[in-house]
Structure 1
Amino acid sequence: MRFSSYAIPLALAGFTLADPTLQQMLGFLQQFNIDISYPANIQVAKSINYTGFTEGQELNTEYLFGVFAGIANGAVAGTPLIGIPLNGTLLDLVIENNIMIVTTLRDFNWTVAIDPTIWQIKFMFNDDGLVTQYDGILYRSSALYADVLPKVAQAAMAELNLPANISQTVALQTRAATDICAGHEAFCTGANQQYNSTADCMDFVMNAIPMGDVWQSGQNTAFCRYLHTTMVQLRPTVHCPHIGPSGGDMCFDHTYESMVQSPFPQPFVALPDNLTLANLGL
């Protein structure tokens, strides 16, 4: 699973080879590990502008911190489909030139379970020690969600008084639809309104789109709209279209070919003595 919900604008500003200091990069890592964890991520999300990134990072702040902060702040009423990051332990660290690769073992709290997760994140820095682009991978995501989602589904059935014989997918989609439509009713008003009524919203999320797997969190799915529901309270004008029927510019179907195209202006290449791939004829 990629760290993004596919279409998150991971690539920030900057194109030239930079020369940050080791202290700047390690300082960023130390602060980032604190800020991504609960409860620090709540305050970071409210800033809508994480200072560790280069300028214009509203969406990156919201996706990295706001999703988890929204869950912690009660943006969804029931047992969450997305966990809240807790403490993290550094497993691997590689730094070369202006690129840092970090692997972390981090507990996530789904309320019904606290499960360990393994993340690898790549950061590229500029001369000032600010991140210009990043990418992340959640290892063994299929096994993780196979472990936790049945527990979430059972909790959803109890919370929503659903029949005991319904499928796990229906239980999860009902949980998602209930929270999406409650978020829409609370925050997507006036010019930001996407559905005529809560009933229309429920019908669309339950019947017009699939629930979606975790890897489809940037597709035309209920899972994608659920993810954005955690952020509508931060900036309704931006995120209400993402939970609406159109999906805005985030929750829409992508071709396989488009998903394997790199979104980055620069490759994550760090070779000794500032060599480039071109220098090596690669």
Structure 2
Amino acid sequence: MTVLSSAVEYVSAGSRLQIGDLPRLARRNPLVAVGGGLLGLLIILALAAPLYAGDPGNMDPFRRLQPPSAEMWFGSDNLGRDVFARTIFGARISLLVGLMSAACAALAGLLIGVTAGYSRSIDKIVMRVMDGLMSIPTILLAIALISLTGPGIGILIVAIAVSETPAVARLVRSVVLGVRERPYVEAALCGGARLPKVLWRHILPSTVPALMVQGATVSASAILTEAVLSFLGVGVPPEIPSWGNMIASSRLYLAIAPMTIFAPGICLAVTVLAVNLLGDGVRDLFDPSAKRRR
């Protein structure tokens, strides 16, 4: 709760981050610079993939399982496709699923957490539903939702967001429970301010730091979940290049063409590491005492 308390005090005191403060914050928090730099580089490489990566779906049976070369930097897979192109285009899927799942879970968790935290009558019902969803493993819940409609990027994002929403909702609720009892909130209500205005001006800003930290955690978890589901064959369709699909289709050829697994596996690890470093840096930013305790 130290992080949440410090975050609430930070926002309540009226502090605001400005664009000009980013270089100073990067020097004070190297984790933000490293994580943000890696993540930014991955996003740029993924967005610019059509300009330099080639065609990830082009198959050449005569060039199956070729070693890395000047033409194919990471070699080719069992169908003669360029592993480098598929790895770069696979970053698009992982980043899209991770960021969109985190955004959807953060929005839904924010609405549920604020409602439950401010209304005691709704809290008892809504949080019991959240507890029930949290008792179901994320992978099993995602597989159950995907099995109802079939694999696809959209349903994958929804499935991961649904499984991650309860954790976000509980976090937001804990922040709201502490903020709603503060004197400035009670003073605003006694002064005649309407409830929507109080929520917008005093309570919602206090949840932003906690949401940023939790969003990074959800994003990293979503990227790993997408890879696991694609590896199991219930995530992204096989014709769409993704890191999970690549690892699944190449696991039988590890001894012959190790780059077919190492390339997507290393990119997956670097992406998750970048998101986690960024989340740790944001946590240290809002709770400097956590950094001093290390």
- Please, what TM-score do these two structures have when normalized by structure 2? 0.28
* Bigger helix fraction: 2
* Bigger strand fraction: 1
For CA contacts below 8 A with separation 6 or more, give which structure has more relative contact order. 2
